[in-house]
C-alpha cells in the first residue's frame, strides 16, 4: 500500500495533468474553456495541489441538463462518438453525462478489488436494476466480460418507482417489485449464474422468495441506496445466509465506483473513492470549503478528474461520516452514507 503522502503526491500530479488537459485550448471542452475565459486566473497556473481545488466553484449538476452535451466534449477526443448516460430525470429532461472509456476503466479497477472466491473468474453475472440509458448497464456487462463471464439483465425503471412512491401507490411499487423478482428468479433458476448486481431492496425481495445462495449466487455487488449497519448485517446474515459475499458500493454516473473495505462486526460501510480519478471529501454543509473532523458527519463532496470529465466539488445529495484511510486505500473514506438532512426531516406520527 502506498503511504498517504505518496497518495497525495499522486493525486496532485494527476490533478495538474487533468487541469492542463481540460483548460488547454487544444484538448479542453468548450464548457470549461469558456468558463476559464471569464475568470481573472488561469487554472493551469493556480491549481497545483488538491487544496487548490477550492478555487473552483461547486459544480452544479443542473449544467448537465441545461448545457448541450457537445459542450462537454474535450477537443482531445476529436470526433469520436460518445456514449450518453443519464442520471435522475423523474420528470423533464434528465441530466446527462457523456463518456467514452471511463466506465470500462472504472469497472476494471473495481474488478481488481473483487475476491475470486466469491466472484469467480469466468462466472456469469446477472444485473437486476436500472438499465436503459444508464452507464451502469454497460459497466456491469463490461465487468462480467472483463472477468471472463457473460451478463444477464432484468430491467428496473427507478423513475417509474419514484413516481409511484410520490403518489403513495406503495401497493403498485410492490407489484412492480414482484414483476422484477419474478423475472430474476426465473433466470437464476435456469441459468448458471454466480455473481449478482442489484439494489438492496431487490436483493431483499429475491431473498423473500427464495434462498439467494441456494440459487448458486456466491457474490453480490450492491449499490444505490443508504446502507445502515443494521440493514447490511441483515443482508449478510439473513438474506445471504452468511454464505455469499456482499460488496457494498457507492457510485453514480458522475463519479464511477467507490469500493468498500471488507465488513467487520460493526457492519458499518466505508467507501473509498477511486483516487486519483475521483475524490470524495466530507465537508461542513454550512461552510463547504471546510473538511469536517474524522468521525463527524458532513456533506459528501465529489470531484471527478478524468480526461473525459472534469467535475470539481460537486455536492452530493448525501451526507456521511469522514473516516480515516484504511488499507489498501491511503486516503479518506466516507462512512454510513445517508441522504443529506436525513435526521432533520420531521416525522410526525398520529397521536390517537
Partner 1 sequence: MLPEIPILRLGKVYQSLDLQLLKAVATGEAVAKVSFANDGLVKGDLRRMDEARDVLRKVPCQQLLEITAKAGEIFLNDTLPLGADGSMQSPDDYLRQLAATSGLPHTLIRMNMQRLGNIFGEVGTILQGLTRGLDVSILDRGYGEQSGVPVSFNAVTNCLGVIMPSNSPAVNALWIPAIAMKIPVIIKPGREEPWTPWRVIQAFIKAGCPPEAFSYYPTSHEGSGAIIRRAGRVMLFGDDSTVAQHTHDPRIEVHGSGRSKILIGEDKIEHWRDYLDVMIESVSANSGRSCINTSTIVVPKYADEIAKALAEALVDMRPLAANDPAARLSGFANPQFAEWISEAIDTDLETKGARDVSATVRVDERFQTRDGMHYLLPTVTRCDSFEHPLSNKEYLFPFASVVELDQASMLDQIGPSLVVTAITEDQDWITRLLECPDIDRLNVGAHPTNRVQWNQPHEGNLFEFLYRRRAIQIAV
- Asked if residue 234 binds partner 1 (CB under 8 A), the reply is yes
- Asked if residue 235 binds partner 1 (CB under 8 A), the reply is yes
- Asked if residue 233 binds partner 1 (CB under 8 A), the reply is yes
E strands present in 52-174: 83-87, 95-99, 125-129, 151-155
Residue from 126, 140, 156, 239 that binds partner 1 (CB under 8 A)? 239
- Asked if residue 168 binds partner 1 (CB under 8 A), the reply is yes
Cell of 225: 441506496
Tell me, residue by residue from 119 to 158, as one string, x for binding to partner 1 by CB under 8 A and - for no binding: ----------------------------------------
**How many residues bind partner 1, per CB under 8 A?**
24
Footprint of partner 1 on 262-291 (CB under 8 A): 266-267
14 to each of 279, 289, 310, how far by Cα in Å? 11, 21, 12
Residue from 204, 301, 316, 332 that binds partner 1 (CB under 8 A)? 204
* Contact predicate 339/319, CB 8 Å: yes
65 to each of 17, 68, 89, 93, 310, how far by Cα in Å? 27, 8, 10, 7, 16
Residue from 174, 192, 241, 289 that binds partner 1 (CB under 8 A)? 174
* Contact predicate 300/318, CB 8 Å: yes
* Contact predicate 173/164, CB 8 Å: yes
- Asked if residue 228 binds partner 1 (CB under 8 A), the reply is yes
Residue 314's beta-bridge partner residues?
Answer: 302
> Is the Cβ of residue 227 or residue 311 nearer to partner 1 in the bound state?
227
Positions touching partner 1 (CB under 8 A) are 168, 170-171, 174, 200, 204, 207-208, 228-231, 233-235, 238-239, 266-267, 347, 349-352
Amino acid at each position: 500500500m502506498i503511504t498517504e503522502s505518496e497518495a497525495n503526491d499522486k493525486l496532485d500530479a494527476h490533478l495538474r495533468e487533468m487541469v492542463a488537459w481540460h483548460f488547454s485550448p487544444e484538448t479542453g471542452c468548450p464548457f470549461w474553456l469558456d468558463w476559464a475565459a471569464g475568470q481573472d486566473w488561469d487554472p493551469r497556473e493556480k491549481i497545483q495541489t488538491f487544496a487548490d481545488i477550492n478555487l473552483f466553484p461547486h459544480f452544479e449538476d443542473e449544467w448537465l441538463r441545461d448545457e448541450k452535451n457537445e459542450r462537454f466534449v474535450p477537443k482531445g477526443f476529436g470526433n469520436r462518438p460518445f456514449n450518453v448516460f443519464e442520471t435522475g430525470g423523474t420528470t423533464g429532461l434528465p441530466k446527462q453525462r457523456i463518456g467514452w472509456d471511463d466506465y470500462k476503466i472504472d469497472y476494471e479497477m473495481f474488478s481488481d478489488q473483487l475476491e475470486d472466491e466469491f466472484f469467480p473468474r469466468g462466472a456469469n453475472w446477472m444485473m437486476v436494476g436500472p438499465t436503459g440509458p444508464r452507464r451502469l448497464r454497460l459497466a456491469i456487462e463490461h465487468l462480467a466480460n472483463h472477468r471472463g463471464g457473460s451478463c444477464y439483465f432484468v430491467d428496473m425503471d427507478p423513475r417509474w418507482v419514484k413516481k409511484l412512491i410520490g403518489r403513495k401507490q406503495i401497493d403498485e411499487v410492490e407489484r412492480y417489485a414482484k414483476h422484477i423478482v419474478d423475472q430474476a428468479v426465473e433466470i437464476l433458476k435456469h441459468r448458471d449464474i454466480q455473481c449478482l448486481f442489484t439494489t438492496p431492496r431487490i436483493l431483499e425481495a429475491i431473498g423473500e422468495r427464495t434462498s439467494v445462495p441456494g440459487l448458486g449466487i456466491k457474490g453480490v455487488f450492491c449499490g444505490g441506496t443508504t446502507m445502515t449497519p443494521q440493514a447490511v448485517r441483515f443482508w449478510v446474515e439473513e438474506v445471504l445466509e452468511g454464505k455469499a459475499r456482499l460488496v457494498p458500493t457507492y457510485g453514480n454516473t458522475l463519479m464511477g465506483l467507490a469500493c468498500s473495505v471488507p465488513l467487520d462486526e460493526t457492519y458499518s460501510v466505508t467507501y473509498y473513492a477511486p483516487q486519483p480519478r475521483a475524490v470524495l471529501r466530507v465537508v461542513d454543509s454550512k461552510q463547504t470549503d471546510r473538511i469536517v473532523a474524522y468521525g463527524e458527519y458532513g456533506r459528501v463532496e465529489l470531484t471527478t478528474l478524468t480526461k473525459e470529465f472534469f467535475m470539481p466539488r460537486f455536492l452530493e445529495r448525501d451526507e456521511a461520516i469522514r473516516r480515516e484511510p484504511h488499507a489498501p486505500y491511503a486516503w479518506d473514506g466516507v462512512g454510513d452514507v445517508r441522504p443529506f438532512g436525513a435526521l432533520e426531516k420531521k416525522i410526525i406520527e398520529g397521536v390517537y
